[in-house]
Each structure stands twice: as structure tokens, then as C-alpha cells.
């Protein structure tokens, strides 16, 4: 009975980036499934967070913290400076006055911490997953305080949640998932967790599919009804992803090519799902559509961009 569950999970987990591409295709191609799963975005995010903490190597993280300068700089960048850049860019471009819905979701994208799946995706691309993990932990610890503050400042009265309310929701999500995930890891043991990595990957893919289907279920219908609008928002999502990746990589270039690429990859993978969960899973229509299509570069990047990133990481001095 146990093997009947674990064997398919392991087989699914071994598909890796290909399974993510299929998840996106199914998420867009099966809108009725997305409609059913849409109320469970918060639950899917919680499961993904729990699984990330299950796989967290605390000992390795502590070892790398003995030389914390780069990690601290990366935390400051992604938790403090990136939100400010997003907010200022919205004001400079006129988005804050031109489209309240788009402004809301862009600010939420900027104030979010990196995705909890970022270390696994970075490892899949041959990048420094440990540095990504450490930065992720630090910025995630700050996000219940920084995200509400920045959101309240840049969104002003257009933001329906108070900083305290959003901070409380984010803290409950992060602290609760950390408690569940780390407890499960302790009970199972590090060796068993490592041995069951394919099964955990399979669970990750299922949870990611629930998330992707829930947020992307309307994309196909919207693309047929308003193709130019969907195309414009999709291009914006890819542009924001690419710009944040490029700027972060350049900022940390002196740390070495491989580390800089890892941090660029991490910074461009904003955990918008966490922010949507923090606001109760509700967004205006345009904001929800941008949220959906902005997932495309995130989930397609391991499959399509891995060869390019590995080529770049292999070149240049100090790439180690």
C-alpha cells in the first residue's frame, strides 16, 4: 500500500523541470480544474513552505553563516532595496496613478520574499543553492515586518489590509510552516529525508500544480477574449523577471559569477503566492491576471534557461 503511493510520487518527482512545464500547460488548458482549486491557493503555498523546511539542512546553513557578509548583503538587497526599487519604478513610470490594480500587484511582487522553491530550482540549474537558501531564510524572517511597511507606504489608502494584519498573516504562514516542516524533518531524520528526495519532489510538483492551476486557470480564457491585454501583461512579467535577474547579477558580480547568478535567479523568483495568501487569496481582476502570467518565467526558467545560466556560470574568473 505504501509503495503504491510512493512509487508514483518518486516517478513524478524525477521528471523535474519537465513536470513544471506540463503543470503550466495543464493549468492553462484546464480552466474548470483551476476554478475548483482557486480557493486553495493559501493551502498550496503552506504545503510548499512546509516541504521546503523539511528539506532545509540546518547544519550546512550554520556552517555557511560563519562568513555572513555576502548573505547579509543579499538579504538587504532582496528584502529592503528591491521593494524600494519596485515602488520607485511604479511612481516613475506612472503606474501608481494609471492603473491601481497593476500598481497593487507590482508592489506586492516587489515586497515579497524569494520563493521557497528557489533553492531547489537553483540546484536544478547548477547554481549555489546554499547561498540562496540562507538569503531566503533571512528575507523570509523579515518579510512579516518589511512587506506590510513597504506595501502601506507605496499603496497608501489603496491597500485594504493594515500593516499589522498583513504582517500577522505572513508570520502565521511562515512560522506555522517552519514548525511543521522542521518537526517533520526531525522526526524522519536527515538521512530518510535525503533518501526520499524523489517522493518529496513529487509532492512539490503536485502542490505546485494546485498553485499553478489555481492562479492560471483563467489565462487561457482571457487570452482568447482579450489577447492583446494578456500578451502585454505577459511581456511585462517576463520583462520584470529579466530586469531583476540582470540587475541583481550585476550588483553581485564581484562576489563571483556563479554566486551572482544564483542571487539573480533567487531575486527574480518573488514569492507572490505568499503575498496573495497574506491578503486572503483575493486580488482585483487585472492584478490576478498579472499575478498568473508572471508565474510563466518562474516555472519555465529551469527548463529553458538552465543551459544559458550554466554557460554563463562556467565562464569568467571567480565563478566558483
> Looking at residue 301, what is its pLDDT?
77
Surface-to-core class of residue 313, CB atoms within 10 Å of its CB (0-12 exposed, 13-18 middle, 19+ buried): buried
The pLDDT assigned to 234 comes to 92
3-state secondary structure (DSSP) of residue 125: coil
Whether 204 shows a pLDDT value over 90: the answer reads no
pLDDT at position 184, please?
A: 93
Q: How far apart are alpha carbons 53 and 278 in whole angstroms?
A: 19
Express each pLDDT in 142-196 by its tens digit. Answer: 888 888 888 888 876 555 555 666 677 778 887 898 899 989 998 998 888 888 8
* Section 101-106 average pLDDT: 88
Q: What is the pLDDT of residue 41?
A: 78
Average pLDDT over residues 56-75: 78
Cα Rg of the chain, angstroms: 19
pLDDT at 255 (0 to 100):
87
The top-level CATH class assigned to 31-305 is mainly alpha
The confidence score (pLDDT) of residue 178 equals 85
Q: What is the pLDDT of residues 267-315, one digit of tens each?
A: 998 988 777 766 655 667 788 888 888 888 887 877 777 677 667 666 4
Over 50: is that where the pLDDT of 320 sits? Answer: no
Return the SS3 of 270. Answer: strand
pLDDT of residue 1: 60
Average pLDDT of the segment spanning 57-78 = 81
The runs of H, that is alpha helices, within 217-271 are 219-225, 227-251, 257-268
Residue 73 has pLDDT above 80, yes or no: yes
Assign 30 to helix, strand or coil.
coil
More confident residue, 199 or 284: 199
Report the b/e string of 269-285 with b at 16+ CB within 10 A.
bbbbbbbbbbbebebee
The whole-number average pLDDT for the span 104-116 is: 87
Q: In the structure, what pLDDT confidence band is assigned to residue 238 with cuts at 50, 70 and 90?
A: very high
Amino acid at each position: 500500500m505504501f509503495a503504491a503511493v510512493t512509487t508514483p510520487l518518486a516517478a513524478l518527482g524525477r521528471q523535474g523541470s519537465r513536470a513544471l512545464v506540463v503543470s503550466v500547460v495543464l493549468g492553462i488548458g484546464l480552466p474548470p480544474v483551476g476554478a475548483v482549486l482557486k480557493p486553495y491557493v493559501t493551502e498550496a503555498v503552506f504545503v510548499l513552505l512546509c516541504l521546503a523546511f523539511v528539506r532545509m539542512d540546518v547544519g550546512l546553513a550554520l556552517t555557511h553563516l560563519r562568513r555572513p557578509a555576502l548573505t547579509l548583503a543579499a538579504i538587504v538587497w532582496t528584502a529592503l532595496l528591491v521593494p524600494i526599487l519596485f515602488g520607485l519604478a511604479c511612481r516613475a513610470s506612472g503606474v501608481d496613478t494609471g492603473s491601481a490594480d497593476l500598481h497593487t500587484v507590482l508592489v506586492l511582487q516587489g515586497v515579497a520574499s524569494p520563493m521557497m522553491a528557489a533553492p531547489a530550482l537553483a540546484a536544478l540549474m547548477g547554481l549555489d543553492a546554499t547561498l540562496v537558501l540562507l538569503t531566503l531564510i533571512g528575507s523570509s524572517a523579515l518579510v512579516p515586518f518589511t512587506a506590510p511597511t513597504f506595501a502601506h507606504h507605496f499603496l497608501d489608502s489603496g491597500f485594504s489590509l493594515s500593516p499589522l494584519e498583513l504582517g500577522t498573516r505572513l508570520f502565521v504562514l511562515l512560522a506555522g510552516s517552519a514548525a511543521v516542516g522542521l518537526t517533520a524533518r526531525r522526526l524522519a531524520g536527515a538521512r530518510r529525508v535525503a533518501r526520499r528526495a524523489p517522493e518529496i519532489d513529487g509532492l512539490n510538483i503536485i502542490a505546485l500544480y494546485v498553485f499553478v492551476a489555481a492562479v492560471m486557470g483563467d489565462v487561457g480564457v482571457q487570452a482568447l477574449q482579450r489577447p492583446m491585454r494578456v500578451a502585454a501583461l505577459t511581456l511585462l512579467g517576463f520583462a520584470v523577471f529579466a530586469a531583476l535577474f540582470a540587475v541583481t547579477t550585476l550588483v553581485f558580480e564581484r562576489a563571483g559569477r556563479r554566486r551572482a547568478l544564483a542571487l539573480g535567479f533567487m531575486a527574480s523568483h518573488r514569492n507572490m503566492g505568499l503575498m496573495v495568501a497574506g491578503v486572503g487569496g483575493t486580488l482585483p481582476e487585472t492584478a490576478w491576471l498579472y499575478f498568473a502570467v508572471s508565474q510563466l518565467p518562474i516555472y519555465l526558467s529551469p527548463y529553458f534557461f538552465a543551459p544559458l545560466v550554466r554557460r554563463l556560470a562556467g565562464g569568467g574568473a571567480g565563478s566558483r
